[in-house]
Structure 1
């Protein structure tokens, strides 16, 4: 991934969608369930827009899924800026895990949902998305964004799983290593790309949840 970075600094704000509808809490929804936001999730989207209101942004990119579109709506209205939708930023496909709670994963499949990133990376979710395809589609999106906006400030609204894939690709670490980091609902993470430095990718902010008013 680093070999494809342009020779200019860039800031990427990675924003996870807000809290989802109550019926889908601690449920693997992935790309197969297009749920909306809870009332708290709507407020989280508003809080993100408020916290970033004085931050210049050149463009917004987003997953096409409803929960993401509802989260970015306050930012789009505030700035009069419509996002560019990239289907490759949709959440990963959890296959047969879809619709099951974390506890049900253990009882039905004999796996610990807490190991979900490791399980995904080893392609052990029945009928789940192939990890090579997952990484490929996310990398394609990120390279498109990076090369379109050298020296730019970009917001990317997407999903917790996809943010972890993005960070794994940029940092060139196994996806399972991202289990060490929480990516909460309505959180902002900021990555700077500085290709002239030895450490071309620097995380300036991770999993920050702007306060809800």
Structure 2
């Protein structure tokens, strides 16, 4: 039996709108983000979703609750599904970060998998904690369809890991707010993961 995971990036926040790095900062959905989630929820009614998980950050949790509400299922929150911790960069735009942390930023763009973010996390550590959560979800739901609402960096990293894409290239994967990506795992095996849909925005 295979497990199908429906990955959704959370809806837009006010920080997304002005392109500020969010990371672990608990920023809520904007009115636009809630509207995005409602639209996607309507679209996803065509699927048979059996369970729902989300990052414990408000923007992901609320997006998940809007979608899961259409299926009358609860949302299980997992801290492991949080975005990468951007540390000192959170609340800043890329221009502000580049101005204040020029050398680190240059290194991070070249090698994000191994470059520590000041006061934050290393991308390779994000992959370890996120994939541990995904492994648990797949094991818990054999043969089922599962909604997983998380963050852009998280979903990009999962797809890179499963599809064998160099993690240092993960920024080249476009990930829109409230987009849907689907991964199918035949026999519940992560190494056999198949990307069925990527970055679909409704």
TM over 0.5: yes
Count the aligned residue pairs.
201
Note if 1:25 corresponds to 2:26: no
Deviations 1:88-128 (A, max 9, x none): 00111011211110111211111596985644312242122
Check the 8 A contact 1:12/1:154 in 2, yes or no: yes
The partner residue of 1:168 within 160, 178, 184 is: 160
Task: Provide the C-alpha distance between the structure 2 equivalents of 1:152 and 1:115, rounded to a whole number of angstroms.
Answer: 41
Note if 1:141 corresponds to 2:133: yes
Deviations 1:130-171 (A, max 9, x none): 334322211110110111112211110010011012112212
Q: Which moved more, 1:157-166 or 1:113-122?
A: 113-122
Check the 8 A contact 2:85/2:120 in 1, yes or no: yes
* Structure-to-structure mapping, 1:36-185, within 5 angstroms: 36-110=28-102, 118-185=110-177
Check the 8 A contact 1:117/1:175 in 2, yes or no: no
State TM-score, norm by structure 1. Answer: 0.85
SS of equivalent to 1:150: coil
Task: Provide the C-alpha distance between the structure 2 equivalents of 1:205 and 1:77, rounded to a whole number of angstroms.
Answer: 23
State TM-score, norm by structure 2. Answer: 0.89
SS of equivalent to 1:30: coil
Distance 1:18 1:112, change over 3 A: farther
Task: Provide the C-alpha distance between the structure 2 equivalents of 1:205 and 1:38, rounded to a whole number of angstroms.
Answer: 26
Distance 1:53 1:168, change over 3 A: same
Cα drift, residue 85 of structure 1: 1.1
Check the 8 A contact 1:46/1:75 in 2, yes or no: yes
Task: Provide the C-alpha distance between the structure 2 equivalents of 1:61 and 1:118, rounded to a whole number of angstroms.
Answer: 32
Task: Provide the C-alpha distance between the structure 1 equivalents of 2:143 and 2:106, rounded to a whole number of angstroms.
Answer: 37
Structure 2 gaps, min length 5? none
